[in-house]
């Protein structure tokens, strides 16, 4: 038995509560009864508990004596380290923070097929320890390299071979994309979509879902996970041909060139502004996030138990695009988002992306605008979570807001109008569109297909 357990209310036995209590919006989602029955079966089948434990208590994780960095005893998976950032951008010239370092590239792979004239996606009901509602819908394959090369001695990753060796199948998407730039140090994952012609039976953990239904389900709070959203956003949708991105790229090169962001890893223990306790790591202000330990017990076909550190954000975030039609074409107000952990200082992010509680004195530009939007201008408004394998109970309110006359046509220097088609073209390349913007693009696909 562990010495330290806290916040045990966070423990949720998957079968404790019914499906519609967990995801009330499912009732109005428009998906069919068969799907709901499947989801209910999965919820009842998977049993899971997640307990918060002290960092120092985690089995198989090692707190380096000299640096305090947190590492797995195998040397694989990921580490938690310190990062010092010095920048000419923004109001804070330098700071230190804990950051997750995961140099290996994982696969986020979605199998799709054409069925009765409809595109269908093979999704998975997946437990992840950071999900408050325990289970979410993930892509067919969602695996770090440590997972699929079986560093954890677990079972083989189903359907992996379609992505590592697509052979005669049609690869629709294959691109490296970044993840949360404030929490991950230069993390990137391989986003893939593979179209299969053959028919095969899938076991009950997986299910073929019409892409339109999957998009509908984005409106259900905390159901479609981040990796599914990221992959979906890369799926070419509608318009063909290559849009002209010249003006957009020039603006972006200009913004990036005006600022320096110099980062260096530092020992995690002793970074300024943070308290490194045996239980967890917190910021002196109580803001931003904590680094916590969890003990996970999960049972599906087999029982698994493991410990791991997680990043637990403080406060709910707001992630929003303001949308405006120019000559009948939907444009989004993108912001060049500078973050310490991205590969090249900045990526194209949403109009607003912040945790309001962190900015009580100087709210970020347009935050009040999106939070104050009248109901008729809210195209999308759903709380979704980020990567449940690394982030503990993260919540962002994803919003798509239609601009009214109060919203400026001429944007401030760090903002630029981009058409959906332009962003889709840039998604063929890595590291342009950040993960929050990709999530919102997936939500916008839902709005556009009438879901």
Residues near a second copy (CB under 8 A) are: 103-105, 107, 145, 171, 174-176, 188, 190, 242, 246, 249-250, 253-254, 256-257, 260-262, 264-265, 343-344, 428-431
Q: Which is nearer to a second copy, 176 or 357 (CB)?
A: 176
3-state secondary structure the chain: CCCCEECHHHCCCCCCCCHHHHCHHHHHCCCCHHHHHHHHHHHHHCEEEEEEECHHHCCCEEECCCCCCEEECCCCCCEEEEEEEEECCCCCCEEEEEEEECCCCEEEEEEEEEECCEEEEEEEEEECCCCCCCEEEECCEEECHHHHCCCCCCCCCCCCHHHHCCCCCEEEEEEEEECCCCCEECCEEEEEEEECCCCCCCCCCEEEEEHHHHHHHCCCCCCECHHHHHHHHCCCCCCCCCCCCHHHHHHHHHHHHHCCEEEEEECCCCCCCEEECCCCEEECCCCCEEEEEEEEEEECCCEEEEEEEEEEECCCEEEEEEEEEECCEEEEEEEEEECCCCCCCEEEECCEEECHHHHCCCCCCCHHHHHCCCHHHEEEEEEECCCCCCECCCCEEEEEEECCCCCCCCCCCCEEEEEHHHHHHHCCCCCCECHHHHHHHHHHHHHHCCC
How many angstroms from the chain centroid is the CA of residue 213?
20
Q: Which is nearer to a second copy, 6 or 104 (CB)?
A: 104
Least distance to a second copy from the beta carbon of 190, Å? 5
Under 8 Å between Cβ of 99 and 185: yes
Angle made by CA atoms 42, 44, 46, in degrees to the nearest 5: 65
Q: Which is nearer to a second copy, 84 or 324 (CB)?
A: 84
- Distance between CA atoms of residues 214 and 109, nearest Å: 15
Least distance to a second copy from the beta carbon of 263, Å? 9
Q: Which is nearer to a second copy, 24 or 413 (CB)?
A: 413
Least distance to a second copy from the beta carbon of 78, Å? 11
125: β partners: 137
Q: Which is nearer to a second copy, 236 or 286 (CB)?
A: 236
Q: Which is nearer to a second copy, 70 or 370 (CB)?
A: 70
Least distance to a second copy from the beta carbon of 388, Å? 23
Q: Which is nearer to a second copy, 344 or 368 (CB)?
A: 344
Least distance to a second copy from the beta carbon of 236, Å? 11
Least distance to a second copy from the beta carbon of 149, Å? 11
Least distance to a second copy from the beta carbon of 175, Å? 6
Q: Which is nearer to a second copy, 9 or 257 (CB)?
A: 257
Q: Which is nearer to a second copy, 271 or 370 (CB)?
A: 271
Q: Which is nearer to a second copy, 238 or 254 (CB)?
A: 254
DSSP assigned state of 64: -
Longest dimension (CA), the chain: 65
Under 8 Å between Cβ of 130 and 391: yes
Least distance to a second copy from the beta carbon of 106, Å? 9
Least distance to a second copy from the beta carbon of 136, Å? 24
Least distance to a second copy from the beta carbon of 276, Å? 20
Q: Which is nearer to a second copy, 400 or 437 (CB)?
A: 437
Least distance to a second copy from the beta carbon of 233, Å? 16
């Amino acid at each position: 038995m562990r010495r330290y357990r806290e916040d045990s209310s966070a423990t949720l036995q998957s079968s404790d509560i019914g499906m519609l209590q967990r995801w009330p919006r499912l009732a109005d989602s428009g998906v069919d009864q068969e799907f709901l029955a499947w989801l209910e079966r999965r919820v009842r089948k998977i049993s899971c508990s997640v307990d918060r434990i002290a960092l120092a208590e985690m089995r198989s994780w090692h707190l380096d004596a000299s640096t305090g960095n947190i590492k797995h005893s195998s040397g694989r998976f990921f580490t938690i380290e310190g990062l010092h950032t010095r920048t000419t951008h923004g109001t804070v010239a330098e700071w230190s923070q804990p950051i997750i370092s995961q140099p290996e590239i994982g696969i986020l792979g979605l199998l799709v097929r054409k069925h009765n004239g409809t595109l269908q996606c093979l999704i998975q009901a997946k437990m992840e320890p950071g999900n408050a509602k325990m289970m979410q819908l993930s892509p067919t394959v969602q695996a770090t390299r440590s997972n699929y090369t079986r560093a954890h001695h677990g079972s083989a990753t189903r359907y992996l071979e379609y992505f590592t060796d697509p052979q005669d199948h049609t690869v629709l998407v294959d691109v490296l994309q970044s993840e949360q730039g404030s929490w991950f140090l230069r993390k990137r994952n391989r986003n893939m979509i593979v179209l299969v012609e053959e028919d095969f039976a899938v076991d009950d953990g997986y299910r073929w879902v019409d892409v339109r239904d999957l998009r509908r389900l984005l409106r259900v709070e905390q159901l479609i996970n981040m990796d599914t959203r990221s992959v979906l956003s890369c799926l070419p949708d509608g318009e063909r041909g290559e849009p002209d991105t010249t003006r957009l790229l020039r603006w972006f090169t200009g913004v990036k060139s005006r600022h320096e962001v110099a980062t260096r890893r530092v020992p995690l223990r002793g970074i300024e502004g943070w308290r490194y306790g045996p239980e967890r790591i917190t910021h002196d202000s109580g803001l931003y996030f904590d680094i916590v330990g969890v003990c996970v017990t999960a049972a599906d076909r087999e029982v698994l138990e493991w410990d791991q550190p997680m990043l637990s954000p403080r406060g709910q975030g707001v992630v929003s695009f303001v949308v405006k039609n120019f000559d009948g074409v939907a444009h989004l107000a993108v912001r060049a988002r500078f973050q310490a952990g991205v590969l090249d200082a900045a990526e194209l992010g949403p109009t607003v992306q912040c945790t309001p509680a962190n900015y009580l004195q100087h709210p970020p530009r347009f935050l009040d605008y999106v939070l104050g939007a009248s109901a008729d201008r809210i195209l999308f408004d759903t709380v979704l979570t980020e990567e449940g394998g690394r982030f503990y109970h993260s919540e962002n309110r994803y919003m798509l807001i239609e601009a009214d006359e109060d919203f400026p046509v001429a944007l401030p220097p760090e903002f630029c109008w981009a058409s959906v088609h332009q962003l889709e073209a840039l998604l063929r390349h890595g590291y342009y569109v950040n993960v929050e913007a990709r999530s919102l693009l997936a939500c916008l696909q839902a709005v556009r297909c009438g879901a």
